[in-house]
Structure 1
Amino acid sequence: MEALGLEWAEGAPKLWAAEAMARQGLVTTVSSPAGTAVVVGWVGSYRDRVAGARRLLDDFGPPGAAPPLPTGDYAAVLVCRDRILLMRDEQARIPLFFRKSGGRVSEVSTSARRLGDAAELEPRYFCRYLTGNMAQPHSELTPFAGVHRVLGGEVVELSLTGQLRGRGSRRARQADDPLSPESNGRGLSGAAKDLRLALENAVGRRMGEMTACHVSGGTDSTSVALLAARQSAAGQGDRRGLVLLAGRFGTGELAGEQPYLDEAMEEIRRHAPAARPVVVDVDDVADFDDFQRHAGDPDEPCAHAFRAPFWSRLHAAAAKLGCDILLTGCGADPIADANPLHLHGLARTGQLRQMTKQARAWAAGSERGLRDVVSAYVVQPTLPLAAERVTALVRRRGTVLGGLGTFARPPWLRPEFARAHDYREACLAESRFAFGRAPEQSLYDAANYLAAPDPFSWHHARQDGFFLSHPFLDPEVVATMRRLPADATFRPGRPKAVLREAMADLLPPGIHGRTVKVPFDEVYARGLRTHGEELMDLCRTARHPLVAEMFDVETLCRAVREAQLGVGNANSWDRVNSSLALVAWLERLDERCRVQGAAVPVIAGP
């Protein structure tokens, strides 16, 4: 989807913004003596998008200026008097790409497909994509040769004629750091106060004229919705609309979530009586419904396209009401919980006795064996690829999915393709990103890329009229949790202890005390039962030559069949889902052309 574009006419930059998205407030254009900026999304605060865009231009516009990046969900192009800057926030919700040849950038867009050529694909990208869910957004590679990604938290500098001058990462500024020097000694109570303040600020920055909050009945989404309800009721100078968006399952395992959903809705509306509950019946929704459209339409393959039918049903309801932003609880599981990879830090620094003691507590609290805990949080982060090979040898036993982990080559990816296009190097790069030298710190960066970039919701933003935003992935919230000591966050058998303490005065008792949620396994299984044959036919009849070159199709179909029967685990099913999405994306690639919608010229060449 194109929200902005930059190209050169007779050597002069020509910058434009999508007209429909500008009318919806999804794109903001500002000018000053320093230059012109087009911002997709928001900088600083959602409701003060224009002021935020002006501050961005004022900060970066002067010659030689290199300030830290502001907080927000944005991609921006700044045409200044002496240079051009391309940038994205650290959370990387909104994409930005450029086409480069011979050190010169010829085009910039939020759409990789717009810049790319379907006949010139980049096979190394597909190897990187197939290593796991995090591979796509933090890698510079795109599906198209010559098209590069501006990374999250990166600033790319060009000359006014498009020559690439440099690119570098910058951290977001933390203007209101909530952590005092005494935080490390205040235990759970002090940590909870820090998290509460950071989360309140994150929600406040994201409130719109008509804010939708996804409510599932879990601790995470209910916490966000409660904080939004309090701010909505307070008004802060105006009357804000609040929509509480939920999906209702009347049958099956997920019907067990209904009492929690009802309790959450009642408590949220107690704080904001004017909030409008919108509960959508989704009993007839299954994963993989209309899969070829959901997987084939986005600019890049989307590993989570199989879940798009559920989210599109909810998003359509929010769009019908005119919501301008949708807040979720995504990211809370790794961000707001105790960090299990702290065990790796203890082992790495020689504190083996302390590591063993805490590992036993983790095992008891999670009802797992000590060996499993040490393997997952100490051994695997140290030797991730070797650990996966050993697991595969022990557990495969004639199946395709048995023992298939996050990085190892799936059996249906042809070894000759993997060797030719650096699949092993992609696995190494991905494992280093996921674990790094200090896995307990890498966890937070990796968590962002599991939840934040969402090609499906981005692709539908123009028709829905809103962006998704995730308060738990706000830089202030992440910085707060990153700096808390393990003894302030870890409570055996009580996940997200800091968050529960932080929200103790707001969460209703049933949700405050619950530790287990019903997963979407039933929806996934029903989708495979319903669409399994159709998915295998898609693979067997695929016409794009790269499908046969890349995949052993019959082995992939066997993997789909095993997933139907419940063989494997979440990791192995994710690998199947990613591969199916790639097949569907390649099949629809030639159907999409480089068509530009109505645009508002911002800077036109002579």
Structure 2
Amino acid sequence: MRVGFDVFTALNEDTQFHLFSCHRDDPKQAPLVTFADDRQSGVASVLLGHLCYQDEILSKLPQSMRQSCASDATIAIIVYCYSGLKALEELEGEFSLVLWDGASQRLFALRDPLGSWPLFWLVNSQRIAVSTSLRSLLALLPERSLDLDFIAQFIMWSNPGFELPTERTPFPEIKRVLPGTTLEMNPIGQVKSHCWWNWKAKLGKNNNITLEEAGEQYAELLRQAVKQRVQRGRIAAHLSGGMDSSSIVCTAREWMLSGVGRSPLHTLSEVYKRPCLVGERDYVEMVIEQGGPVEAHLIDSDNALDFLWFNEEIPIHDEPYPYLNQLGMEKILIETAHQVGVDTILTGIGGDQLLASKRLYIADFLRQGRWLVALFEANRWAYAKNQDVWSIMYGCGIQPAWPILTGERFGYFLRHGFGHWPNLGAFSIPPWVIPDFARSYQMQSVGRENAQKLYHSPIEIAADLWAIQSSVGDWSSWNLAAPRGMHNSRPFLDPRLLSFCLGLPRSIREIPGMPKPVLQKAMQGVLPEAIRIRTDKRSFNDNYWLGLSKHLPQLETMVQTSAICELGIFDKSQLIRVMHQAAVGIGDMPTCGRINITLSLIAWFEQMSKTWHHLLEKPTEIHCINYLLQI
């Protein structure tokens, strides 16, 4: 089932808006897709997602205009008519938006700075099409081909997120609207792009602040970010027992106690009997036992292993997704939320991006030749974490300072960029890629460019900006929640919070022996103390190893029979060999991540190949509203 919209415009033709939304049993549920048009001004808009901080938006408008703001799409029209394009670019929230100005014959398309919802575009025979679905645009093409440069970049994605940070898509004719960017188009096919959001401009704005002041300000910003997201219908929140998700739950509960939001708050917790994860339940119950308007849902998740592709159907998705192996964990949360009947699922995603200590300033000291200072800092962290000083010096200093050499040493250059299993560097070409393909699509250069982007000087700042980039998009929201009329919302990724963190000095964000010091201070008196000062968090590596071992025969069959091998990309015998080795524990998790990327690409290719003839869902599966604007 599809949720989203298509917009088509061409010279001397009506502009068409096609809306797709799921059928709802409860008419009070907040719609994910809203449409509005003003016949008098000749302006129409469609919005997927939600706007936040609407009180601030409306306060800038005359009183007479505020009364007519019935939907998010209506707000977009009103602020545009009142203040122009700049007002659209000042909207905040989690959205993709298209607005048509009939008087000037211009179409605007934009996404929020975190790209919470997808948006693609195509110019074809002087016709412009903008859509939240790649497959909808594919249906307009007389011929379809893969962009193998995009495929090469995907395989070499060293620190993957939800979408590649490029306008390119898997199909050369179709482009992506980048987050924080506006496209201005006209019916004759002219397209101009304007980037209106710049994370670098947020750096170093709060250098004179103390930790106590930073904690207080962060707490208030987080409270407001959560408030914006608990006011739309029934709310659930993921609760894992870690500091991030627990902070979201406790803050949302406070708002509901004060009368903001619709009680109760449903908490969704995956619990396990396996020894490596069973202890997490204690932390979950600490939050629940604080009381308040909370209805807890403890979900038995021992069977939600990785690579659950063959027991459960993989949702149809537009682009390959690097973390497709985790489908089982994501799906069980969404299904539980749907059974409860919620509109929004709050997640703790984003708490690590700028709040967790990366200690990469040690690498900056090394590049500056300040070896003794770097050693002193490594020693401080080693003492606080009870680790060997060399492990800190290497992992946070030497390796990021010279990522290519430390990842593969000189063998990287001798093998033309190819890595050696199982010690596969993050920027190396996987050994199961066919050399001719690697040369044709310059994969060694792609690896070097990725290393430069991630570790250019100053490394600490580069890593922060990369962490934000890797948070763009939300596959689970697009492909699991939206078809059920829900969406994931990520308060920690509110641009106000991220901008505040970018402005803080390193001395406040990174303190040895104090995980996430700013969040710790902010949550004092809010979180259970055992969670607030918690220094460890169990990993889900066990889910991966068990899932890979269990589903290895089906994965091997998928690789053996996939038509992707006809494109000359992979040596399937090599790939299967390393899969078997990984299944018995050979190779670390970052190295196995390169296998996951390849397998997710093959699974997507197989799914897309089977749907060439069926790119649009059946009309019975969607609620489609067509608007023809004769302007």
Cα distance between partner residues in 1 of 2:250 and 2:209: 25
1:467 to 478, 482, 487: 487
Cα RMSD, aligned residues only: 3.1
Q: Which residue of 1 aligns with 2:563?
A: 543
Q: Which residue of 2 aligns with 1:455?
A: 475
Cα distance between partner residues in 1 of 2:607 and 2:528: 47
Cα distance between partner residues in 1 of 2:419 and 2:150: 27
Listed one character per residue, the Cα deviations across residues 61-100 of structure 1 (whole Å, up to 9, x for unaligned) are: 5796334442211111111132111100111121100113
Deviation at 1:370, TM superposition (A): 3.8
- Equivalent residues in 2 for 1:490-569 (5 A)? 490-546=510-566, 549-569=568-588
2:272 to 234, 242, 249: 249
The answer to whether residue 180 in structure 2 is matched with residue 153 in structure 1 is yes
Q: Which residue of 1 aligns with 2:4?
A: 3
**Aligned partners of 1:2 and 1:109 also within 8 Å:** no
Cα distance between partner residues in 2 of 1:510 and 1:115: 51
Please state whether the residue corresponding to 1:408 is helix, strand or coil.
coil
Change (3 A) 1:254 1:35: same
The answer to whether residue 43 in structure 2 is matched with residue 42 in structure 1 is no
The answer to whether residue 433 in structure 2 is matched with residue 416 in structure 1 is no
Q: Which residue of 2 aligns with 1:229?
A: 253
The answer to whether residue 507 in structure 2 is matched with residue 480 in structure 1 is no
Q: Which residue of 2 aligns with 1:262?
A: 285
2:95 to 41, 57, 74: 74
Q: Which residue of 2 aligns with 1:20?
A: 22
**Aligned partners of 1:46 and 1:206 also within 8 Å:** no
**Aligned partners of 2:306 and 2:548 also within 8 Å:** yes
Q: Which residue of 2 aligns with 1:29?
A: 35
Cα distance between partner residues in 1 of 2:563 and 2:265: 47
Deviates more, 1:485-494 or 1:431-440: 431-440
Listed one character per residue, the Cα deviations across residues 111-152 of structure 1 (whole Å, up to 9, x for unaligned) are: 112212684111011111112214833111111120111111
Cα distance between partner residues in 2 of 1:105 and 1:371: 60
Cα distance between partner residues in 2 of 1:162 and 1:347: 54
Cα distance between partner residues in 1 of 2:503 and 2:419: 43
Deviation at 1:295, TM superposition (A): 5.0
Deviates more, 1:32-41 or 1:91-100: 32-41
Deviation at 1:493, TM superposition (A): 2.2
Change (3 A) 1:328 1:19: closer
Change (3 A) 1:418 1:537: same
Listed one character per residue, the Cα deviations across residues 562-593 of structure 1 (whole Å, up to 9, x for unaligned) are: 21111111211111111011111111212222
Deviation at 1:498, TM superposition (A): 1.7
Change (3 A) 1:599 1:276: same
**Aligned partners of 2:434 and 2:568 also within 8 Å:** yes
Q: Which residue of 2 aligns with 1:278?
A: 297
The amino acid of 1:111's aligned partner reads: S
1:343 to 345, 355, 362: 362
Cα distance between partner residues in 1 of 2:149 and 2:43: 37
Please state whether the residue corresponding to 1:587 is helix, strand or coil.
helix
Cα distance between partner residues in 2 of 1:253 and 1:190: 38
Change (3 A) 1:400 1:516: same
The amino acid of 2:17's aligned partner reads: L
**Aligned partners of 1:184 and 1:485 also within 8 Å:** yes
Please state whether the residue corresponding to 1:406 is helix, strand or coil.
coil
Deviation at 1:327, TM superposition (A): 0.9
Cα distance between partner residues in 2 of 1:428 and 1:367: 34
Cα distance between partner residues in 1 of 2:624 and 2:8: 13
Point out where structure 1 has 5 or more consecutive residues left out of the alignment.
none
Change (3 A) 1:14 1:223: same
The amino acid of 2:506's aligned partner reads: A
Deviation at 1:252, TM superposition (A): 3.1
TM-score (norm 2): 0.86
**Aligned partners of 1:214 and 1:244 also within 8 Å:** yes
Q: Which residue of 2 aligns with 1:406?
A: 426
Listed one character per residue, the Cα deviations across residues 401-434 of structure 1 (whole Å, up to 9, x for unaligned) are: 3221322111111121122123234324433443
Change (3 A) 1:364 1:45: same
The amino acid of 2:134's aligned partner reads: A
Listed one character per residue, the Cα deviations across residues 466-506 of structure 1 (whole Å, up to 9, x for unaligned) are: 11121111111111111111221222122112211210101
Deviation at 1:34, TM superposition (A): 6.1
2:241 to 214, 217, 230: 217
Q: Which residue of 2 aligns with 1:115?
A: 137
Deviates more, 1:510-519 or 1:595-604: 595-604
The answer to whether residue 151 in structure 2 is matched with residue 130 in structure 1 is no
The answer to whether residue 196 in structure 2 is matched with residue 170 in structure 1 is yes
**Aligned partners of 1:96 and 1:150 also within 8 Å:** yes
1:90 to 107, 113, 131: 113
Percent of pairs identical after alignment? 25
Change (3 A) 1:135 1:598: closer
Cα distance between partner residues in 1 of 2:162 and 2:31: 31
Cα distance between partner residues in 1 of 2:315 and 2:339: 24
The answer to whether residue 612 in structure 2 is matched with residue 601 in structure 1 is no
The amino acid of 2:376's aligned partner reads: K
Deviation at 1:532, TM superposition (A): 1.1
Cα distance between partner residues in 1 of 2:410 and 2:521: 38
Pairs aligned (count): 592
1:427 to 447, 459, 462: 447
Cα distance between partner residues in 2 of 1:465 and 1:275: 22
The amino acid of 1:16's aligned partner reads: H
Deviation at 1:321, TM superposition (A): 1.4
Cα distance between partner residues in 2 of 1:283 and 1:313: 11
Cα distance between partner residues in 2 of 1:244 and 1:56: 33
The answer to whether residue 211 in structure 2 is matched with residue 198 in structure 1 is no
TM-score (norm 1): 0.89
Change (3 A) 1:558 1:368: farther
Point out where structure 2 has 5 or more consecutive residues left out of the alignment.
58-68
The amino acid of 2:243's aligned partner reads: T
Please state whether the residue corresponding to 2:409 is helix, strand or coil.
helix
Deviation at 1:204, TM superposition (A): 1.3
Cα distance between partner residues in 2 of 1:510 and 1:206: 27
The amino acid of 1:463's aligned partner reads: P
**Aligned partners of 1:8 and 1:605 also within 8 Å:** no
Listed one character per residue, the Cα deviations across residues 139-192 of structure 1 (whole Å, up to 9, x for unaligned) are: 111111201111111111101x1523310211289xxx9x998x5444321121
Listed one character per residue, the Cα deviations across residues 312-355 of structure 1 (whole Å, up to 9, x for unaligned) are: 11110101111111111112123212342233444556655543
The amino acid of 1:142's aligned partner reads: T
Listed one character per residue, the Cα deviations across residues 258-309 of structure 1 (whole Å, up to 9, x for unaligned) are: 1111112212xx2x2x221111111222111125965572111111111111
Cα distance between partner residues in 1 of 2:513 and 2:75: 46
Deviation at 1:107, TM superposition (A): 1.6
Q: Which residue of 2 aligns with 1:390?
A: 409
Change (3 A) 1:451 1:296: same
**Aligned partners of 2:123 and 2:189 also within 8 Å:** no
The amino acid of 1:44's aligned partner reads: C
